[in-house]
Amino acid sequence: MNQLRVSSGRVLRPDGRVERADVAVDRDEGTIRAVGSPDEVDDTLDGAAAEALDASGSLVIPGLVNAHTHVAMTLLRGYADDKPLDPWLREDIWPAEAELTPDDVEAGAELGAVEMIRSGTTAFADMYFAMDRVADAVDRAGLRARLGHGVVTVGKDDADARADVEESLAVARELDGAADGRIRTAFMPHSLTTVGEEFLREGVAEAREAGVPVHLHANETTDEVEPIVEERGERPIAYADDLDALGPDDFFAHGVHVDDSEIDRLAAAGTAVVHCPASNMKLASGMAPVQRLREGGVTVALGTDGAASNNDLDLFDEMRDAAMLGKLAADDASAVPAEAVVEMATQGGADALNLPGGRIEEGAAADLAVVDLDAPHLTPVHDPVSHLAYAARGSDVRHTVCDGQVLMRDREVLTLNAEAVQKRAAAAASDLVDRVESA
């Protein structure tokens, strides 16, 4: 058997306890074979040789899950800042995206993959264009992902709008199961206001037939909620329910402006919400009621959103932001505590995306990250979970493993040439801006 042993670390278990343990991984199956004392792990290895990853002085955690991003937007990092959502999209981002080529998307996706691997993320959900090229990048990087082509129908004639819906459905059907099953897909209308009702209705019905979930931006700003309420006399989550877009495998990004009736509806349907605190603060979209969502029984995951509204893909930042903003939103320092944000970035993400991972336990997917605690900003260690939420940074990650494959060892990314990826992305971004300026 092809095995990997993560030795001498402290391991974050699914119930939030941290214990000294080794982790044995079956690399052929991509699963965790055992978690236990060195002797217990020796027994499961049966004397067979195993590749070793040293976790001494470190914390072994489930690979983090970035449950909402637009990964190729790394090319637009720092391109347009300090505006609210609508003008930011219309004046800056959409004109730039109109010039994007599939090669650009691949370059940006590889850059995002390197950034995620380096900061301990092993799975992500992506809504964008040229998804075959994103899938190629995911395959090479060794990551896990739920991918979808983002549909926008406003401003398009009927034929173009329909073609966009069809492309999203085709991508969802064709890429599902790619990269040895590490890629799953979804139908991804951009939002309830940027896709017309008939296209939403038809697209969701076809997604149900194809057995793929629905992912969209919902209740992100008041500018998006108000027109729906005015035109339809119902809140956006009720509208989504009416469209049959509120299922147990579906997951919505943001959920900032949701009222109690919408929280009840999300919980009853089992639809997850992906909280994107940095993006919500930067675009001044508002403060999601994370404590109320969790207390109401909604699965809450964490997402960075795109690098143009964050401006990084580091989920350690997101955990800290979620805890801080959650307290402010609830006006309660005990709201959204450290354990909650760690759970949101791990189990919550895996559950929202319905992907394997999120837990270090026997039989679970071998998706994990090893966080080096031997650093001034992480000393002393009264509580490792507190450090994950409030003090650790992506750059503290030493090793990253996904599906049993070591993606980064001792801070060296093994699956992609990080230097070449960075160079290619910088050149693609610079050429892109030249094209936008001369358009």
Ligand X SMILES: CSC[C@H]1O[C@@H](n2cnc3c(O)ncnc32)[C@H](O)[C@@H]1O
Q: Residues annotated as binding site? A: 68, 70, 97, 190, 217, 220, 305
- Which of Zn ion, ligand X, none does residue 309 bind to, with CB < 5 to 8 Å depending on kind? ligand X
Under the binding rule (CB under 6 A), the answer on residue 220 touching ligand X is: yes
Under the binding rule (CB under 5 A), the answer on residue 305 touching Zn ion is: yes
Q: For CA atoms 113, 23, 179, 150, give the dihedral sign.
A: negative
Under the binding rule (CB under 6 A), the answer on residue 310 touching ligand X is: no
Q: For CA atoms 392, 394, 398, 399, give the dihedral sign.
A: positive
Residue (300 or 413) nearer to ligand X, CB:
300
How many positions of this chain bind ligand X (CB under 6 A)?
A: 16
**Residue 54 pairs with which residues in a beta bridge?**
7
Under the binding rule (CB under 5 A), the answer on residue 224 touching Zn ion is: no
Residue (391 or 436) nearer to ligand X, CB:
436
Q: 385 and 12 in contact (C-beta within 8 Å)? A: yes
Q: 164 and 184 in contact (C-beta within 8 Å)? A: no
Q: Residues 190, 235, 387, 398: which binds ligand X (CB under 6 A)? A: 190
Of 37, 24, 67, 25, nearest to 279 (Cα)?
A: 67
SS (H, E, C) 97-113: HCCCCHHHHHHHHHHHH
| Count of C-beta atoms within a 10 Å radius of residue 28 | 10
Q: Shortest distance, CB of residue 363 to ligand X, whole angstroms?
A: 35
CA distance 406 to 133: 23
Q: Which residues of 114-153 form beta strands (DSSP E)?
A: 121-128, 144-151
Residue (12 or 272) nearer to Zn ion, CB:
272
Of 63, 47, 55, 64, nearest to 22 (Cα)?
A: 55
Q: Which of residues 68-127 bind ligand X (CB under 6 A)?
A: 70, 85, 89, 93, 97, 127
Q: Shortest distance, CB of residue 194 to Zn ion, whole angstroms?
A: 11
Annotated binding site for Zn(2+): 68, 70, 217, 305
Residue (33 or 190) nearer to ligand X, CB:
190
Q: For CA atoms 71, 72, 78, 83, give the dihedral sign.
A: negative
Residue (150 or 326) nearer to ligand X, CB:
150
Q: Shortest distance, CB of residue 235 to ligand X, whole angstroms?
A: 18
Under the binding rule (CB under 6 A), the answer on residue 184 touching ligand X is: no
- Which of Zn ion, ligand X, none does residue 97 bind to, with CB < 5 to 8 Å depending on kind? ligand X
Residues engaged in binding Zn ion (CB under 5 A): 305
Residues engaged in binding ligand X (CB under 6 A): 70, 85, 89, 93, 97, 127-128, 150, 152, 190, 217, 220, 279, 305-306, 309
